[in-house]
Amino acid sequence: MIDPVTVEIIRNALTSAAEDMNAMLIRSAYTPVIYECGDCVVALLDDRHRVLGQSAGLPIFLGNLEVCTRFTEERFGRDVWRPGDVWILNDSYLGGTHLNDVTIFGPVFTGDRLAGFTATRAHWIDVGSKDPGGSMDSVNIFQEGLRLGPQKLVSGGEPVYGVLDTVRTNVRFPYPTMGDLNAMIATIEIGQRRLAELVGRFGTETLRLAAEEIFDQTERLERAVVREIPDGVYRAEGSLDNDGIDLDTPVPVRLKITVSGEDITFDVTESADQTVGPVNCGVAQAVSACRVGYKMLVSPDVPGNGGSFRPLTVEVREGSVFGAQAPAACQWYFSHLGLLIDLVAKALAPALPERVAAASHGDSMIVQCAGTDPRTGRDYVSLEATLGGWGAWAGGDGETALINNVNGSLKDMPIEVFETRFPLRVTEYGIRTDSGGAGRWRGGNGVVREYVALHDCSLSLWFERSVTPAWGLFGGAGAAPPEVVVNPGEPDERRLLKCNGLRLSEGDVVRCLTGGGGGYGPPSERDVRLLDADLLDGNVSPGHALREYTARVSPVSYS
């Protein structure tokens, strides 16, 4: 038996130790993708690989670090853990994501006793793929860069120079990359210190008892929600437009959820076979995405730990897009995960109508330009994710112009920063009227972002979700899909959503429109005052209002 005060102090200390690790990583990282975009995650694990505390910069990194320590132990045996060792791993089929996501981890010893592990994963700007930073059109893992199974970076406190040198010689930007590597080592070390301090203060046994109680509390909270869901089978499916290589073949994602009492199973085995193009991920990442979808409905505010997800089982088929096998390409590992997360809410909508939301615009909507800046003579690569609309829910309209679910708290690039850095002009950046699905609660609108090339350059695009645009729920309408038009209204007008290195000439216009979010509930039930406000604010045009909300509009006032 352990007293509730000690449990709560330890619970907070573990969460805070993870936050300290995250603060250390953000503070020490060399590259903006980590310290500005937060493309990273940290965790403290107990000696049985259970999460004691974690802090994720991106939601889809939730709960997949323990896979790395567990796998290492399974492969090499428990005796492999030695004090003063630090390990590295980035194998997509183990860690689940692309090779850019590198995991660094190490055991924590107090005396000669293994107390647990600390681990961090962060996106490296380049790992030696065929194109700098990564490719949109890789067809196997060997094109995607250096691939490391678990191995030691530091052994008994001594750097393993051979491995460090292998890393250094295989990446394009060794200086910042080695900086990030060292920041990650500092991060797991601060976690090791915190965990050792806790063992010293409370003792191994108290810490273990407290952890069990903390896990049980989390499990009780989650089971109470799962219990509310009527037993049964819930299904939802959608498709990616394509795999980025074969542009005519959609990639289906199928989710079957089975609820039985306090247990819930997510089965994605009926989804597409792994593709030639890079929209594949390892099992660990499919599990993480399912956990995100689950957490958004079941326990959005509860810090994740070893008691999280106990009611959840995930079934994945090896050889599918969710269980990639070598040598499948994995660079674009997240597009189908974003769709899967939305599908969880769709499947469970009948059971949890108050908690779910209609679908979001759904993907990163990448615009990338490269060339030589005529103002400076320097080469540049611009890379932007584009915002879109989110789905409506019971009690609220979906939000307009938000980043997609896998990108967390990423911000758009200000026009003033963009035009200063790159020889391109943003001629329009605005809210895309009418793009959100109509409903009692309206889906959020996407955006319009229009560029003009001020010199000859090349354009790459990754826009998704035209085959399965955001759907509505409970009578709410679906949203407009994304559209990209090059030179709209000109004789050489072109519509496309994905391309790799398309040549643009000076004066060419690229007009990007992102999708909205789905509506919730029948449009006929929308409060007239809300519709009035939408018309006044221009979120909905009069024509759209007449078509979608006929019963609610007096055409005179807005014609």
| Interaction of residue 292 with another protein, rule CB under 8 A | yes
| Interaction of residue 260 with another protein, rule CB under 8 A | no
Q: What long-range pairs does 528-531 form, CB within 8 A, spacing at least 24?
A: 528/552, 530/397, 530/442
- Choose between 86 and 210: whose C-beta lies nearer to another protein: 210
- Choose between 35 and 549: whose C-beta lies nearer to another protein: 35
Alpha carbons 83 and 108: distance in angstroms, whole number: 7
| Interaction of residue 399 with another protein, rule CB under 8 A | yes
Applying CB under 8 A, the site for another protein has a residue count of 87
Query: What's 476-518 look like in SS3?
Result: CCCCCCCEEEECCCCCCCEECCEEEEEEECCCCEEEEECCCCC
Q: Name which of 555, 332, 341 is nearest 463 in CA terms.
A: 332
Figure out which of the listed residues 425, 494, 547, 552 binds another protein, where binding follows CB under 8 A. 425
- Choose between 114 and 426: whose C-beta lies nearer to another protein: 426
The residues in 222-251 that bind another protein, with binding defined as CB under 8 A, are 224
Name the token pair of 476. Answer: 């709410």
Q: Name which of 137, 31, 69 is nearest 368 in CA terms.
A: 137
The residues in 57-96 that bind another protein, with binding defined as CB under 8 A, are 58-59
| Interaction of residue 309 with another protein, rule CB under 8 A | no
| Interaction of residue 410 with another protein, rule CB under 8 A | yes
Give the range of 71-79, 96-104, 105-113, 213-221 binding another protein by CB under 8 A. 213-221
Binding mask 161-180 for another protein (x = CB under 8 A): --------------xx--x-
Give the range of 94-102, 263-271, 288-296, 323-331 binding another protein by CB under 8 A. 288-296
* Distant-in-sequence, close-in-space partners of 477: CB < 8 Å, separation ≥ 6: 437, 438, 439, 443, 518, 519, 523, 548
| Interaction of residue 138 with another protein, rule CB under 8 A | no
Alpha carbons 187 and 30: distance in angstroms, whole number: 13
Side-chain-side CA neighbours of 476 within 13 Å: the count stands at: 37
DSSP string covering 219-280: HHHHHHHHHHSPSEEEEEEEEES--SSSTTS-EEEEEEEEEETTEEEEE-TTSPBPPSSS--
| Interaction of residue 396 with another protein, rule CB under 8 A | yes
Q: What is the sign, positive or negative, of the torsion defined by CA atoms of 520, 385, 344, 275? A: positive
Q: What is the dihedral of CA 477, 483, 488, 494, to 10 degrees?
A: -130
Alpha carbons 319 and 315: distance in angstroms, whole number: 13
| Interaction of residue 300 with another protein, rule CB under 8 A | yes
Q: How far is the CB of 447 from another protein (least distance, A)?
A: 7
Figure out which of the listed residues 43, 402, 438, 484 binds another protein, where binding follows CB under 8 A. 402
- Choose between 324 and 341: whose C-beta lies nearer to another protein: 341
| Interaction of residue 428 with another protein, rule CB under 8 A | yes
Figure out which of the listed residues 78, 205, 379, 420 binds another protein, where binding follows CB under 8 A. 420
Name the token pair of 491. Answer: 């004789």
3 state SS of 545: helix
Q: What is the largest CA-CA distance in the chain?
A: 81
| Interaction of residue 429 with another protein, rule CB under 8 A | yes
- Choose between 98 and 355: whose C-beta lies nearer to another protein: 355
Query: What's 55-106 look like in SS3?
Result: EECCHHHCCCCHHHHHHHHHHHCHHHCCCCCEEEECCHHHHCCCCCEEEEEE
Whether 172 contacts 127, CB under 8 Å: no
Give the range of 231-239, 314-322, 423-431, 497-505 binding another protein by CB under 8 A. 423-431
- Choose between 277 and 439: whose C-beta lies nearer to another protein: 439
Binding mask 437-476 for another protein (x = CB under 8 A): ----------x-----------------------------
Figure out which of the listed residues 345, 497, 509, 512 binds another protein, where binding follows CB under 8 A. 345
| Interaction of residue 3 with another protein, rule CB under 8 A | yes
Figure out which of the listed residues 409, 495, 507, 542 binds another protein, where binding follows CB under 8 A. 409
Give the range of 56-64, 155-163, 264-272, 541-549 binding another protein by CB under 8 A. 56-64
Figure out which of the listed residues 74, 79, 248, 416 binds another protein, where binding follows CB under 8 A. 416
Residue 332 DSSP label: T
| Interaction of residue 536 with another protein, rule CB under 8 A | yes
Figure out which of the listed residues 114, 163, 221, 502 binds another protein, where binding follows CB under 8 A. 221
| Interaction of residue 401 with another protein, rule CB under 8 A | yes
| Interaction of residue 128 with another protein, rule CB under 8 A | no
Figure out which of the listed residues 4, 501, 507, 542 binds another protein, where binding follows CB under 8 A. 4
The residues in 353-382 that bind another protein, with binding defined as CB under 8 A, are 355-357
Give the range of 12-20, 137-145, 270-278, 476-484 binding another protein by CB under 8 A. 12-20
Report residue 516: phi and psi, to 5°: -95, -170
Give the range of 232-240, 279-287, 299-307, 480-488 binding another protein by CB under 8 A. 299-307
Q: Name which of 235, 234, 239, 236 is nearest 469 in CA terms.
A: 239
Figure out which of the listed residues 34, 42, 56, 255 binds another protein, where binding follows CB under 8 A. 56
Alpha carbons 361 and 464: distance in angstroms, whole number: 9
* Distant-in-sequence, close-in-space partners of 329: CB < 8 Å, separation ≥ 6: 138, 139, 140, 141, 143, 144, 276, 277, 278, 280
Alpha carbons 151 and 135: distance in angstroms, whole number: 26
Alpha carbons 371 and 63: distance in angstroms, whole number: 39
Figure out which of the listed residues 75, 113, 130, 220 binds another protein, where binding follows CB under 8 A. 220
| Interaction of residue 297 with another protein, rule CB under 8 A | yes
